[in-house]
Structure 1
Amino acid sequence: MPKDKRLWMTFPIDFWQHPKIAPLSDLAFRTFVEMNGYSRMQDLDGRIPATIARRMWKTRALSELTRNDHSKPSVSLVDDVYVIWNYAEHQETRADREAREARNRANGAKGGRPPKNRGRTDSVTDSVSDGNPDETEHKPESESESEIDLTDVTYLPESSHVGDRASPRTDLSEEVISEAKRVGLNDLSAVLDLLEPIVGELNPRHGIEIAQIILRRARTPVLQPVAYIARACEKRDEIRHIAIDVLDIPGVA
């Protein structure tokens, strides 16, 4: 799966050589790819109303896609809706995302962390992460699509510091740390220490979920996740909104 925070779509590596696809004109080929992308972005599960399709793409390209196979064309016109053939076999559907969200919530409910018996400060040290956070997990589709506007701060110099942590955490399991690293959070303890002064003590997996949503709302790929989250935490009300209204994390008031 692409290590990219944007939405994605998939095709077999050789789909352009398929007997139905290879003969298509350049215009029809591009239209087919764009239709898949548009359906994914708009959560249409491969069903695009004809009024929208005809406004976005050339009629001759749509017609070509509906005639490139006698029984199984790439696109069919059904009840004034253009239906992409076998869409659910290649692209993620709403049902797929809802099922994953349910699994993530169930897994999060199983996690936990014993009470901390250590001194704390209100700030942490930033850790530079290489690359963009993984999109193995997506934000819940019910949440707002609004972005946290942190223009020009998706990349901060390596010399940027968020603070100094009093002592390293000792209460994170290797499994949770690995889970965080898979989504691009190489310093989960720093992320938790940024979020907890705002929303209270967190189950580590809930902290990962909040961080993913923050990063997903960035306008451009985030090169240094912890530094970006530190700046996002300046918008305390937005962080609380994510924890309370979007994720409904227990214990956050």
Structure 2
Amino acid sequence: MSRRRDPGKDDRLFVQLALDFDDNPKIRPLSDKAFRTLVQLLLYSAKAGTDGRIDPALFRTFGTPKARTELLTNHPTRPSVSERDGAFWLHHFERHNRTVAEIEELSKKRADAGSKGGQAKATGKQDAKQVLQQTGGSMPPRSPDPQITDTRSDQDSSSSVQLVDASRYGTDDELNAQAIRSFGYLELEDFPRVRSEIAKATGRIPTPLQVTQIAQTILARGGAKRSPTGYVLASIRADWAEWQQWLDSAAAS
């Protein structure tokens, strides 16, 4: 008998921790602060899509010097965090968690599986898009984040909102971290879920900056938003073709 998909299934991105994670001989002796710092590093890497790589400048913002030293020295050859090639790396992150490449492959498979019914749904998607646009205002809301600049005109749309000047950040990790912070300034919740929803809807893995850009653009269209996060998620599903094209254009540029 086939199992029906649970409509309440949580589709957010996750990190995986084995049930005996806390019993590992190099994890058990860690202080509470070091243990918390390790979990925060794992969550950050999964959210930012760095496959276990942490930029040195960003690494120093996690925990305390003592906690970071514990993670770098809790095993003579296989510490929880190691330094190499000018960066810090979480031990075997890719062995226990999906890499960006694996997530992209899974998204592509889902997109290919759903493409057969895409044409039949096109009319309904367009109608939904028109409803969203008709309920929106003509001017975007003022951004609460001073690093976000709204340059949207009455013409459109997905490429008109500029978020986070990339030239101000020396590394991709720093840019990703600022993009995630900017997402929070939009009064939105659950960055991983929104990113996962974009990936499922478009078959493309967006960068953290692209996630925030898409969310900001949707909110800039106005309309009643009792639940801004729910509004963004619904708009991503309804306008999947638009965001797919937008991500393709971003990748080609």
SS, match of residue 62 in structure 1: helix
Unaligned segments of structure 1, at least 5 residues: 116-120, 125-132, 155-217, 249-253
The reply on whether 1:55 has 2:61 as its aligned counterpart is yes
Report the Cα distance in structure 1 between the residues aligned to 2:31 and 2:84, rounded to whole angstroms: 23
Deviations 1:18-46 (A, max 9, x none): 11111100111011000101111111110
Q: Give the Å deviation of 1:110.
A: 4.0
In structure 2, the CA distance between the partners of 1:47 and 1:243, relative to structure 1 (3 Å rule), is: closer
**Who is 1:23 aligned against?**
29
Range with bigger deviation, 31-40 or 8-17: 8-17
TM-score by length of 2: 0.52
Q: Give the Å deviation of 1:96.
A: 1.0
The reply on whether 1:38 has 2:44 as its aligned counterpart is yes
In structure 2, the CA distance between the partners of 1:151 and 1:18, relative to structure 1 (3 Å rule), is: farther
1 or 2, which has the higher helix percentage? 2
Alignment RMSD (CA, Å) = 4.0
Report the Cα distance in structure 1 between the residues aligned to 2:44 and 2:20, rounded to whole angstroms: 21
SS, match of residue 61 in structure 2: helix
Report the Cα distance in structure 2 between the residues aligned to 1:34 and 1:100, rounded to whole angstroms: 25
Deviations 1:33-72 (A, max 9, x none): 0010111111111010122101333222111111111121
Deviations 1:162-201 (A, max 9, x none): xxxxxxxxxxxxxxxxxxxxxxxxxxxxxxxxxxxxxxxx
Report the Cα distance in structure 2 between the residues aligned to 1:42 and 1:151, rounded to whole angstroms: 30
Q: Which amino acid in structure 2 is aligned with residue 97 of structure 1?
A: I
Equivalent residue pairs, number: 163
**Who is 2:242 aligned against?**
241
Unaligned segments of structure 2, at least 5 residues: 1-5, 122-126, 132-192
SS, match of residue 71 in structure 1: coil
**Who is 1:75 aligned against?**
81
Residue among 144, 150, 153 paired with 2:226: 153
Report the Cα distance in structure 1 between the residues aligned to 2:196 and 2:86, rounded to whole angstroms: 35
Deviations 1:50-98 (A, max 9, x none): 2210133322211111111112111111133111111012222111111
TM-score by length of 1: 0.52
Report the Cα distance in structure 2 between the residues aligned to 1:85 and 1:60, rounded to whole angstroms: 19
Report the Cα distance in structure 1 between the residues aligned to 2:82 and 2:62, rounded to whole angstroms: 17
In structure 2, the CA distance between the partners of 1:85 and 1:151, relative to structure 1 (3 Å rule), is: farther
Q: Which has the larger radius of gyration?
A: 1
SS, match of residue 111 in structure 2: helix
Report the Cα distance in structure 2 between the residues aligned to 1:67 and 1:114, rounded to whole angstroms: 57
Q: Give the Å deviation of 1:247.
A: 7.4
Report the Cα distance in structure 2 between the residues aligned to 1:7 and 1:151, rounded to whole angstroms: 28
Q: Give the Å deviation of 1:5.
A: 4.9
**Who is 2:190 aligned against?**
none
**Who is 2:107 aligned against?**
101
Deviations 1:86-118 (A, max 9, x none): 101222211111111221232233446779xxx
Report the Cα distance in structure 2 between the residues aligned to 1:112 and 1:105, rounded to whole angstroms: 10
Deviations 1:192-224 (A, max 9, x none): xxxxxxxxxxxxxxxxxxxxxxxxxx62xx4xx
SS, match of residue 76 in structure 1: strand
